[in-house]
A and B are shown apart, each in its own frame.
Chain A
Amino acid sequence: MTDAADLRRRTAELLAAHPPATTDKLDFLRARFDAGLAWVHYPEGLGGLGAPRSLQAVVDADLEAEGAPDNDPRRIGIGLGMAAPTILAYGTEEQKRRFLRPLWTGEEVWCQLFSEPGAGSDLAALGTRAVREGDGDWVVNGQKVWTSSAHVARWAILIARTDPDVPKHRGITYFICDMTDPGVEVRPLRQVTGEAEFNEVFITDVRIPDARRLGDVGDGWKVAQTTLNNERVAIGGMRLPREGGMIGPVARTWRERPELRTHDLHQRLLKLWVEAEAARLTAERLRQQLVAGQPGPEGAGMKLAFARLNQEISGLEVELRGEEGLLYDDWTMRRPELVDFVGRDAGYRYLRSKGNSIEGGTTEVLLNIVAERVLGLPGEPRTDKDVAWKDLAR
């Protein structure tokens, strides 16, 4: 078993062979992946060493101390947080070898083609069709929507209906879609913030080789659960310093601008500061549980907590700014590669954080999940369970 000392030795070797100061960023990241120090809990040959997940922190700390470049995890969040664990769990050897390395180094960005105009919270109702041709390849037609990063993505995880004659959860298959295929058309969707961070994606006669199917035909819903569960816990394991989240900028504004202070805002700020600190501690506790190998259900709640806090805190900050709060930094329609909460002003944070309770499962749907899976309360009444997808009212 690989232990911390072994990892530190390997890290030192990597740094010696590829001094960060003189090594090209991409070369360094590739070397790091090949040394098994990318995600140490992944298998050997796939960027890891089969070590305990908790030991990643040891590697990261040593690399950071030496000024090693990182792989810009925010920019490749969907690949790291969702595509990778799904490929690891369900991919063939060939798929793992082909996709994981450029995914981790950031050479290839991923997006998630799940939601459709008619299937959001009820994702299993999706209508994008994949039909098998004689040669075994699949031909896909349909429309996806709200796809973050589709405009910069090289690959997509995609779910499509392969059997309309069975109930909706059963007729779905999971694919890896090539975003450079000419049948894939990405159109920006402008958001409340003015920018277009997500897109509509039209899929017309896109051929997907059977070798790019993930999991068995008809098993797509099960595979998608891996993706969605990882999506929801991705936020939980974060390590935030105190005032590391949205509360940071507003606390700084408060300290630097005494002329803006009012008693009402003071009370609300302190209350939110306390709640943000409690949420931060909960995330830290969750992380410690993961490290100790006893993951708790807390992860399910963290996204809910941060969504609400981000919205309340950013709303408060707009008010705190008074006259400035009436202004906005820039309405130019841009197509950013990632969300930049701190690089923009309070008005942007206020508007963008409205998406936090919608993306990755709405707050309402997540509350249902907590109530049912954590508290064991009865499920919602279901009328679609035994009905073939094609017979459902739409």
Chain B
Amino acid sequence: MSTQPNRRAEPDLLYSEDEEALRAAVRDLLTDHCDAAGVIARVESDAPHDRELWKLLADGMGLAGLLVPEELGGQGATPREAAVVLEELGRFVAPVPYLTSAVVATEALLAADDGELLADLASGRRIGALAVALNVSAGTAYKVVRFEDGALHGELTGIADAAVADVLLVPADDGGLYAVDASAVTVTPQVSLDLTRPLAKVTLDGAPGRLLGDAEPAVRRALRAGAGLLASEQLGLAEWTLTETVRYLKERKQFNRPVGGFQALKHRLAQLWLEVVNLRAAARNAADQLATGGDDADLAVAVAQAFAAPVAVHAAEEALQLHGGIGMTWEHPVHLYLKRAKADSIAYGTAGAHRAALAELVDLQAP
């Protein structure tokens, strides 16, 4: 590889100035428009998604089109920038369909090369959702619907953010991926562990679909990008829980001392910090490899996901425990992070699924 002059030997693991500027802008917006109390109130309502916030992110900042080429009305940016956005969205557990629409559905459409829908998604005018259950990882089997007499029939469950989607990208048994208007199907919300990224059941009863192309490569590409960039969301989430726990433990006193001064807790937090630092490197690597289309992209994604999920869950679980009784309440936001972290640990493949993929990639075969 090092013999090819235009291929970098090592991934760029830092943030560029532009990426830092993007981060600052997204964080400012979220600070003003996505407070935890609001998120909690919203997830208890019938409309868990924050459409206002989505409008600001999509229309106002053009983030929905980050991965879409400029000639289709997007920003022509790369997964590196999308990863930075996801870090911030993770930090706020923002209930918006960014990962599902602007990353996963968009990547599927990029593979299928569908300009019209891409432009719609990029502008934020429409929201897309890939109709594959959230727990499926790239390269493993997913459920398809029946294509019969020019229409689609069947039922799909575990479809993330389907409740707000305007268009569903549905794989069918003829091997095709179809664009189906949400108005042509029945979307039934499922009661979800993570209320900020709710799942739904999609029932197709003779729904018309427009053929986009082959499902397999599109789904594979979409799920790989989803898994790789999910690590950045998990990073943002883990960072928030660590920072917030450190802050709380400096203030909270028991035994006439800040509890953060007790060594048992200091060591746990230092350990967590170390995990987060490692997660940042793994997540940046995945984003960079996806951006440069390096030969290592599959491996980088598998490493990032195998590493990220346990760290994010650990961080959220520690945060809850170390907040004591208040951590167990509905009113304190730590539960939002725990639920997101746990759901993320299954989304786009579990750590175990990614380890299995890795075993193939690096030739460490099972017995």
Interface residues of A (CB under 8 A from B): 251, 254-255, 258, 261-263, 266-267, 269-271, 273-275, 277-279, 281-282, 284-285, 288-289, 292, 298, 301, 304-305, 364, 367-368, 370-372, 374-381
Contact = CB atoms under 8 A, between A and B. Distances in A.
Contacts of B246: 375-377
B367 A266 contact: yes
26 contacts: A261-B367, A263-B366, A263-B367, A266-B359, A266-B364, A270-B355, A270-B364, A271-B355, A273-B358, A273-B362, A277-B303, A278-B279, A281-B11, A281-B13, A284-B11, A288-B13, A292-B14, A298-B277, A305-B274, A370-B270, A371-B267, A374-B270, A377-B258, A377-B260, A377-B261, A377-B266
A282 B14 contact: no
Interface of B: 10-14, 246, 249-250, 257-258, 260-261, 263, 265-267, 269-271, 273-274, 277-282, 284-285, 303, 306-307, 355, 358-359, 362-367
A375 B266 CA distance: 9
Given A266-B366, A377-B261, A285 B307 contact: no
Contacts of A379: 261
A285 B270 CA distance: 19
Nearest to B249: A377
Q: By DSSP majority rule, is chain B's interface helix, strand, loop, or mixed?
A: helix
Nearest to B367: A261
Given A262-B367, A269-B364, A270-B358, A301 B274 contact: yes
A378 B358 contact: no
A110 B22 CA distance: 48
Nearest to B358: A270
A128 B10 CA distance: 47
B257 A378 contact: yes
Nearest to B364: A254
B284 A275 contact: no
B355 A378 contact: no
Given A281-B285, A284-B281, A285-B284, A377 B269 contact: yes
Q: Residue among B250, B270, B280, B367 with the most chain A CB within 10 A?
A: B270
A372 B281 contact: no
A258 B365 contact: yes
A370 B11 CA distance: 27
Contacts of A289: 14
Q: Which 8 A-B pairs have the closest CB atoms?
A: A378-B261, A371-B266, A281-B281, A261-B367, A370-B270, A285-B13, A282-B281, A270-B355
Contacts of B307: 274-275, 277-278
Contacts of A374: 270, 273
A371 B270 contact: yes
Nearest to A264: B367
Contacts of A270: 306, 355, 358-359, 364
B355 to A, nearest CB: 4
Nearest to B285: A281
Nearest to B310: A271
B282 A281 contact: yes
A302 B242 CA distance: 19
Given A271-B355, A288-B14, A367-B271, A251 B266 contact: no
Contacts of B278: 275, 278-279, 281-282, 305
Contacts of A364: 267
Nearest to B14: A288
A282 B277 contact: yes
Nearest to A277: B303
Contacts of A279: 278
A378 B257 CA distance: 9
Nearest to B304: A278
A364 B279 CA distance: 22
Contacts of A261: 365-367
B270 A251 contact: no
B263 A368 contact: yes
Contact of B250 (A251, A262, A378): A378
A319 B241 CA distance: 37
A285 B280 contact: yes
Nearest to A368: B266
B232 to A, nearest CB: 14
B277 A378 contact: no
A308 to B, nearest CB: 9
A257 to B, nearest CB: 11
Contact of B358 (A274, A288, A375, A376): A274
Contacts of B261: 377-381
A195 to B, nearest CB: 31
Given A266-B366, A282-B277, A374-B273, 7 more contacts: A270-B355, A274-B307, A275-B278, A301-B273, A304-B274, A371-B269, A379-B261
A251 B363 CA distance: 9
A114 B257 CA distance: 34
B266 A372 contact: yes
Contact of A378 (B260, B273, B359, B367): B260
Given A278-B303, A374-B273, A367 B266 contact: yes
A173 B274 CA distance: 34
A137 B8 CA distance: 56
B274 A370 contact: yes
Contacts of B10: 284, 288
Contacts of A292: 14
Contacts of A273: 358, 362, 364
Contacts of B362: 251, 273
A285 B14 contact: yes
Contacts of B281: 278, 281-282, 284-285
Q: Residue among A251, A269, A285, A370 with the most chain B CB within 10 A?
A: A285
A263 B367 CA distance: 6
A47 B250 CA distance: 46
A252 B319 CA distance: 39
A289 B246 CA distance: 25
A370 B273 contact: yes
Contacts of B270: 367-368, 370-371, 374-375
A277 B307 CA distance: 10
Contacts of A368: 263, 266-267, 270
Contacts of B263: 368, 380
A8 to B, nearest CB: 16
Q: Residue among B13, B261, B278, B359 with the most chain A CB within 10 A?
A: B278
A243 to B, nearest CB: 8
A269 to B, nearest CB: 6
A381 B256 CA distance: 12
